[in-house]
Chains A and B, each alone.
Chain A
Amino acid sequence: MKFGSGAMTNSVAEIAENKAIFVIGSNTTENHPIIALRMKEAVANGAELIVADPRKIPLVKFATLWLRHRPGTDATLLNSIMNVILAEGLEDKKFIDERTEGYEDFVKSIEPFTPEYGAEITGVAADDIVKAGRIFGSAENAGIYYAMGITQHSMGTNNVCAVGNLAMVTGNIGKYASGVNPLRGQNNVQGACDMGGLPNVYPGYQKVDVPANQEKFEKGWGKSLSAKVGLAATEMTGAMLDGSLKGMYIFGENPALSDPNTTHSVKAFKSLEFLVVQDLFMTDTAQLADVVLPGASFAEKDGTFTSSERRVQRVRKAVNSPGEAKTDLAIIDQIYKRIDGEGDLGKTVEASDVFDEAVSFWPAMAGMSYRRLEADSLQWPCPTEDHAGTRFLFEETFNRENGKALFTAVPFVASKELPDKEYPFVLTTGRELFHYHTGTMTRRSSGLNTVAPEAFVEVNPADAEVLGVGDGQRLTVSSRRGSIRLKARVSNIVPPNVIFIPFHYKEAAANLLTSDAMDPVCKIMEAKVCAVKIEV
């Protein structure tokens, strides 16, 4: 990362005070509804909102400017906007001089991305690119908000770099009501990352292949540790299929439905020698398991979640779990003790003890404790007991060795699988308001399932006419990897030649179609672009 952290740099409440807001690759209204409220508040306060999205998402209604770029052309769009900012002298020279490096190379890299070139690649009118540059470049404080629409691409890392460049070039980072703000899709993605639920880092983003870190954790845990960076989830599929990965423990995840190219991944799970799945429900993944362990819902346990804005908050037990279901913490603890051969099996693990241990390894959360969180939530960094937490990051320095943020030149890279004669449509996937992820929870909530009972594919009216498809008619959508049958929703929300399918529905799982192409750096899958065909 160019600043040295992967989290919202600023806070949600600050959004209301942004003078310009740039939302790209985030259907905020449906996926982060409460964050979207702050955006609407900002607009009511007079902020200018730029929405860049191939789909006419609900937020467009509030936008000053809507840029309907072609799926997969985000970086080019951002580059051409920055080209305008540089051409018109709207860059923040003081910030660039004092707080960044790599500017000259960056400027050179931006030169080819004229609005006209941007228009050609992205399909957005050159005038609108200019407008966007002017709005964002001249706002006193402006924030960028993005989600999976930026990251779930084979060039996702590039996209994120381009977003960072835009914030840096306009000096919109390290100050109030601005920033680079990835909106995290799940309640505790932030926490799972913070806590070291990643193959390359220990808790607190401390790299496993840095000896000092390894030593620190070996000492703390009293075990010798592996220095080898582990497999990313997207890489595990291959390792399962080639037999190098034999046993797997999955909890609170349903990769059989959420993984790209699920046919492929289901085959991989089946090839495992031993699979343990710990969940609330008999999910598609659990059905492939050798052992299924009944876990607890959030209402049945104590702990903490960390939200998109780095806010660590208490989760409290309200009810008992059904039957013999146990909290995931207790289950993991028991398995750990059994594998380890140490520890008292009769002793119940306390969430607060685990919390204290975890934060002892990471200065950014070292000042937090359950006692403090009882009174109010805290935003990391919160290094000491008397630290009030941090609303926005990098006020004085960035988390790189010399304290400066780094510009990264971002070239234009096309998506891995583009439409062709056989598969003429671009499929983009995402969520809808009424469901969450693979629907294991929401589809078991009567109201939500009544309002949104079945899968659909959004098709532009022009395409629908050519295909001879009416609203509500059943279609078969196929990619090179699979095929599903679902209802057409003829709508202007999608542009011509692009279709959208939410991935919540197992009976018409969008991820049977998606490609398992992935970003070479962060190993994210390309869920937002793949080529498909439609048959009536």
Chain B
Amino acid sequence: MINLTIDDKQIEVDEGTTVLEAAKELGVPIPTLCHDDRLKPFGACRLCIVEIAGMPKPVTSCTTPATDGMVVKTVSEKLHRLRKTTVELLLSDHPNDCMVCISSGECKLQELAYLYGIRENRFTGEMRDHNKIDTNPFITREQNKCVMCGLCVRVCEEVQGVGAIGYAERGFEARVTPPFGQNLDCEFCGQCVSICPTGALSGGIWAGKPRGDSVKFTDTTCTYCGCGCNITLRSSGDEVVRVDSDKDNHNRGWLCVKGRFGFEFINSKDRLTTPLIRREKGGQFEKATWEEALDYVAGRFTEIKDKNGADAVAGLCSARCTNEENYLFQKLMRAGIGTNNVDHCARY
């Protein structure tokens, strides 16, 4: 075990713990922009710098392993000045169009600008013009909002194992891009979107949808495959407007293209909205009331059962529906009708 002091507070941590992790454990806040617990430390944004006794210059706490007896300061005039300059530099090359930006309110850069009270910027100059509109429907890239934190590049490589994007060019012109500046063509899992600290990456189908106070967050479970990812539905009224996932979930916030972007069916115009009855074979469907439909269904099944025995009725329950629904359905077949003719599509 390693003992260290952070802002006069003592803490004991395991070997290999970084100073940032130790501070987090202590509840000492250190600003970050390029860090995510789920990825390897990167050390690019320079916001998490701290002063360590015996080291000549501030170091990034995200990359520095804690060592025994280390004395760390996370707050000082010098650190404040350096962090503020970094934020100012970022803002000097940022559109600052928060009013219309999709990420307003959830943007880490916006938060930092507020935190450091940057109303006026000492630095002005050329701004990047990297906007590139992709043709894919999922991921909208606004590269002039990119802070080059590298989270998207790293998540794509380290977690998704795809490596659809990388860095190109040098200096001020350095950018994140698919190979040879082509259109983004990948698995569209949107891990990059979920991890982007600014509005540089956003979901294509999120655009123009309600946000803020009118949006309700509901934690639930994804409806697609058997991975059982935890998701949060953002809805406004009866419309689901966005899906995301918290990084503390067992799926660590990662989703696939279906889970993240395949939610529009919920509000599809094709949804069935009333019971329909076809009174005779070959006839047309007619709208019916629930009372009518339910009585009709119960009546017909009872009739078949009475006439041909319970085993003349069968039911298929659903691997898409809930445990409760499946339980009740097999109970209906077994206890209500009296047959074990119940199955579902586990085999398909």
Interface residues of A (CB under 8 A from B): 12-13, 31-35, 37, 40-41, 44, 61-62, 151-152, 183-200, 202-203, 208, 217, 221-226, 228-234, 236, 239, 244-253, 255, 258-260, 273-274, 276, 279-282, 286, 289-295, 297-301, 303-309, 311-329, 331-336, 338-340, 349, 351, 354-355, 357-358, 377, 433-436, 440-442, 444-448, 450-451, 522-525, 527
Contacts and interface: CB of A to CB of B under 8 A. Distances in A.
A445 B344 contact: no
A333 B229 CA distance: 28
A518 B51 CA distance: 69
B137 A293 contact: no
A358 B314 contact: no
A318 B240 contact: yes
A44 B320 CA distance: 33
A289 B259 CA distance: 30
Contacts of B129: none
B275 A31 contact: no
Contact of A292 (B218, B276, B323): B276
B344 A324 contact: no
A321 to B, nearest CB: 8
Chain A CB count within 10 A is highest, among B204, B221, B251, for B221
A332 B297 CA distance: 11
A451 B227 CA distance: 23
Nearest to A439: B265
A200 to B, nearest CB: 7
Contacts of B323: 188, 191-192, 194-195, 303-306, 312, 355, 358
Interface stretch (B11-19, B21-29, B42-50, B231-239): B231-239
A325 B324 contact: no
Contacts of B222: 187
B313 A444 contact: no
Chain A CB count within 10 A is highest, among B296, B313, B346, for B346
A306 B326 CA distance: 12
B116 to A, nearest CB: 36
Nearest to B298: A338
Contacts of A445: 258, 261-265
Contacts of A194: 323
B219 interface: yes
Contacts of A340: 335-336
The 6 closest A-B pairs by CB, nearest first: A307-B228, A323-B273, A252-B318, A303-B322, A230-B340, A184-B226
Given A233-B347, A281-B270, A246 B308 contact: yes
Contact of A33 (B189, B228, B274): B189
Interface string B300-318: 1110110010111111111
B324 A189 contact: no
A289 B161 CA distance: 45
A289 B297 CA distance: 12
A273 B324 CA distance: 28
B266 A447 contact: no
Contacts of B329: 197, 249, 251, 328, 332
A299 B321 contact: no
A436 B225 contact: yes
Contact of A298 (B223, B256, B293, B326): B223
B273 A322 contact: yes
Interface residues of B, number: 112
A152 to B, nearest CB: 8
B228 A187 contact: yes
Contacts of B318: 188, 192, 197, 251-253, 328
Given A188-B321, A203-B330, A249-B301, A324 B273 contact: yes
B325 interface: yes
Contacts of B277: 290-291
A40 B274 contact: no
Given A33-B256, A41-B159, 8 more contacts: A40-B161, A191-B319, A248-B313, A299-B223, A303-B322, A305-B221, A309-B228, A325-B273
Contact of B317 (A40, A252, A274, A282): A252
A234 B161 CA distance: 39
B205 A335 contact: no
Contacts of B225: 31-33, 184-187, 436
B251 A34 contact: yes
Contact of A525 (B227, B275, B312, B348): B348
B233 A318 contact: yes
Contact of A187 (B158, B221, B290, B314): B221
Contacts of A248: 313-316
A34 B336 contact: no
Contacts of B57: none
B244 to A, nearest CB: 13
Contacts of B308: 246
B342 to A, nearest CB: 6
B160 interface: yes
B187 interface: yes
B39 to A, nearest CB: 12
Contact of A189 (B159, B229, B319, B331): B319
B177 interface: no
B136 interface: yes
Contacts of A200: 340
A362 to B, nearest CB: 10
A318 B319 contact: no
B278 A289 contact: yes
B343 interface: yes
Given A325-B273, A336-B332, A448 B220 contact: no
B293 A311 contact: no
6 contacts: A187-B225, A192-B344, A197-B318, A229-B340, A246-B304, A377-B228
A523 B281 CA distance: 31
Chain A CB count within 10 A is highest, among B240, B302, B313, B343, for B343
A306 B263 CA distance: 20
Contacts of A225: 334-335, 338
Contacts of A185: 225-226, 319
A5 B268 CA distance: 38
B220 A314 contact: yes
B69 to A, nearest CB: 31
Contact of A196 (B161, B255, B272, B330): B330
B321 A294 contact: no
Contacts of B274: 294, 323-324
A207 B311 CA distance: 18
Chain B CB count within 10 A is highest, among A202, A295, A313, A340, for A313
A435 B313 CA distance: 32
B326 A446 contact: no
B312 A247 contact: yes
A12 B249 CA distance: 13
A187 B325 contact: no
A308 B188 CA distance: 23
B226 A189 contact: yes
Given A40-B159, A276-B297, A233 B311 contact: no
A358 B324 contact: yes
A203 B327 contact: yes
A444 B258 CA distance: 11
B337 A299 contact: no
B328 interface: yes
A291 B297 contact: yes
